[in-house]
């Protein structure tokens, strides 16, 4: 049997995505010892392009913690989205609607890089290429995470708490005994070809193209890189989408003939994402607390994933600090109850966005009916100021 080295910490954090890194930085700032273990290499996590739309609450949390230098310097304000349909284009300048909140566009890999640097600068214990392979003792007051490092050596990190920030396929979720949590889930039945193009954005706003061929999306990232999405059949092979085919489909669905051409460039990334959502309830079990995708997976239709992760990390950091610093157990006991209503609000809005952006194909009775509902939804959003305010509040809010 492999030899296992015993170590101890206060909070063991599994995963160095936005959830784990924000939590680690907030705990370190509060003087609480924590160890972060991350299965992938530093280069991998710092280059993994994912989301990029930071909600006002996310910017507030990061600014308050002194973690926002990069995003305040290089992030770009974003306050308008546009819908392109058969009947034309309408824009919603959401920065002037609802609560007047805007997004900051800052690529997630840049934020991750900033958060890694900030944690290491504070002398934080962050172990890359180190996978959590077992979790035990969750029902005791010394839960432990066994890890395997790059040298193959096993270490058992015991502490007072474990934070499962290891994403949708992580070990933390599976460490909860069957029957202790309920998993709500939905497959939205829609897939997107997620694309990164080496090209500047083609218009100032986020654009949503609603088209009989399927949905197309346009989202800014950096001055040289733009994110696009194309709805595609489930199980489609990304390799079958040549650059030419992609630009032709994007041009048609975003109606470039009417609204102006797209700035083309090489396609840097193409992968198929199946729209799925799930929510665990509760998101804590014994001394284990789930944060980010580990707690709830949300479809990318409204760019909520990273923003929910930061909201939860802030609540958990505050709750752990209240207990470890001040002996107050109540915020930690309430962690799940505090997060879940916000998670469900975000899920509800994302689900509504899916139905706004996608109409089922075909001439069947139900498909035709659902497409008429989609049209009514778009019209309501285009014409009702109250609907627009409600949309804006949910689009940027968490
Ligand atoms: N041991 C160590 N690390 C692990 C393990 C494991 N057994 N399993 C997974 N991980 C790591 C992954 O390598 C990944 O870096 O956990 C990290 C989880 O990070 P994310 O998937 O980014 O999850 P999260 O931090 O919750 O992200 C929040 O940001 O862009 C969005 O789609 C993303 O919605 C998600 C959100």
Note down pLDDT in tens along the chain; length 398 residues: 679 999 999 999 999 999 999 999 999 999 999 999 999 999 999 999 888 999 999 999 999 999 999 999 999 999 999 999 999 999 999 999 999 999 999 999 999 999 999 999 999 999 999 999 999 999 999 999 999 999 999 999 999 999 999 999 999 999 999 899 999 999 999 999 999 999 999 998 999 999 999 999 999 888 999 999 999 999 999 999 999 999 999 999 999 999 999 999 999 999 999 999 999 999 999 999 999 999 999 988 888 999 999 999 999 999 999 999 999 999 999 999 999 999 999 999 999 999 999 998 889 999 999 999 999 999 999 999 999 999 999 999 87
Report CA(17)–ligand 1 centroid distance (Å).
5
Ligand 1 pocket: which of 149, 156, 170, 398 to mutate (most atoms within 8 A of CB): 170
Query: In terms of Cα–Cα distance, which of 20, 222, 221 is closest to 115?
Result: 20
CA atoms of 369 and 128, how far apart (whole Å): 51
Residue 285 designated active-site: no
CA atoms of 149 and 152, how far apart (whole Å): 5
CA atoms of 168 and 295, how far apart (whole Å): 8
Q: Ligand 1: which residues within 6 Å by Cβ?
A: 14-20, 37-40, 45, 50-51, 108, 131-132, 165-167, 170-171, 292-294, 305-306, 309
pLDDT for 1: 60
Residue 304 designated active-site: yes
Give the predicted TM-score (pTM) of the model: 0.96
Name the DSSP class of 343.
Answer: H
Which residue out of 300, 335, 351, 358 is catalytically annotated? 300
Structure tokens at 207: 């654009």
Query: In terms of Cα–Cα distance, which of 258, 245, 219, 244 is closest to 105?
Result: 219
Instruction: Check if the beta carbon of residue 198 is closer than 8 Å to that of residue 222.
Output: no
Indicate if the alpha-carbon torsion angle 349, 304, 168, 48 is positive or negative. positive
* Cβ atoms within 10 Å, residue 385: 8
Helix (H, G, I), strand (E, B) or coil at 126: strand
Nearby residues of 6 by Cβ (< 8 Å), 6 or more positions away: 155, 156, 158
Report CA(16)–ligand 1 centroid distance (Å).
6
222 half-sphere exposure, CB direction, 13 A CA radius = 15
Peptide bond before residue 282 is cis, with ω within 30 degrees of 0? yes
Longest dimension (CA), the chain: 68
Residue 73 designated active-site: no
Q: Which atom of ligand 1 is nearest to the CA of 295?
A: 26
167 half-sphere exposure, CB direction, 13 A CA radius = 13
Q: Which domains does the chain have, with CATH numbers?
A: 4-76+103-184+276-350 (3.50.50.60)
Structure tokens at 129: 């290429």
From residue 159, how far is each of 94, 143, 196, 207, 287 by CA, in Å?
45, 6, 41, 47, 10
């Amino acid at each position: 049997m492999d030899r296992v080295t015993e170590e101890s910490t206060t909070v063991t954090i599994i995963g160095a995505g936005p959830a784990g890194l924000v939590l680690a930085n907030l705990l370190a700032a509060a003087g609480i010892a924590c160890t972060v273990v991350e299965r992938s290499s530093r280069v991998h996590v710092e280059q993994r392009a994912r989301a990029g739309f930071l909600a006002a609450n996310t910017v507030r949390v990061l600014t308050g913690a002194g973690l926002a230098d990069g995003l305040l310097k290089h992030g770009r304000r974003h306050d308008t989205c546009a819908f392109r349909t058969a009947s034309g284009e309408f824009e919603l300048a959401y920065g002037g609607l609802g609560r007047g909140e805007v997004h900051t566009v800052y690529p997630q890999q840049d934020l991750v890089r900033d958060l890694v640097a900030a944690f290491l600068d504070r002398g934080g214990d962050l172990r890359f290429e180190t996978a959590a392979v077992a979790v035990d003792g969750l029902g005791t007051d010394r839960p432990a995470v066994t890890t395997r490092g790059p040298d193959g050596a096993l270490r058992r990190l015991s502490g007072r708490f474990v934070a499962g920030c290891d994403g949708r396929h992580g070990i933390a979720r599976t460490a909860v005994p069957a029957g202790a949590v309920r998993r709500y889930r939905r497959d939205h039945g829609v897939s997107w070809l997620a694309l990164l193009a080496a090209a500047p954005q083609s218009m100032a706003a986020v654009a949503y193209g609603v088209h009989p061929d399927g949905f197309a999306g346009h989202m800014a990232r950096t001055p040289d890189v733009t994110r696009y999405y194309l709805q595609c059949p489930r199980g489609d092979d990304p390799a079958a989408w040549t650059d030419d085919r992609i630009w032709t489909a994007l041009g048609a669905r975003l109606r470039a003939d009417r609204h102006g051409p797209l700035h083309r460039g090489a396609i840097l990334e193409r992968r198929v994402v199946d729209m799925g959502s799930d929510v665990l309830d509760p998101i804590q079990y014994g001394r284990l607390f789930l944060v980010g995708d580990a707690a709830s997976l949300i479809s990318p239709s409204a760019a909520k994933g990273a923003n929910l992760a930061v909201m939860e990390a802030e609540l958990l950091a505050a709750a752990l600090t209240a207990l470890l610093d001040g002996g107050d157990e109540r915020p930690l006991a309430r962690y799940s109850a505090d997060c879940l209503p916000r998670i469900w609000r975000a899920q509800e809005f994302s689900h509504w966005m899916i139905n706004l952006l996608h109409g089922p194909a075909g001439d069947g009775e139900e498909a035709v009916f659902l497409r008429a509902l989609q049209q009514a939804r778009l019209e309501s959003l285009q014409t009702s100021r109250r609907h627009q305010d409600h949309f804006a509040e949910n689009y940027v809010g968490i």
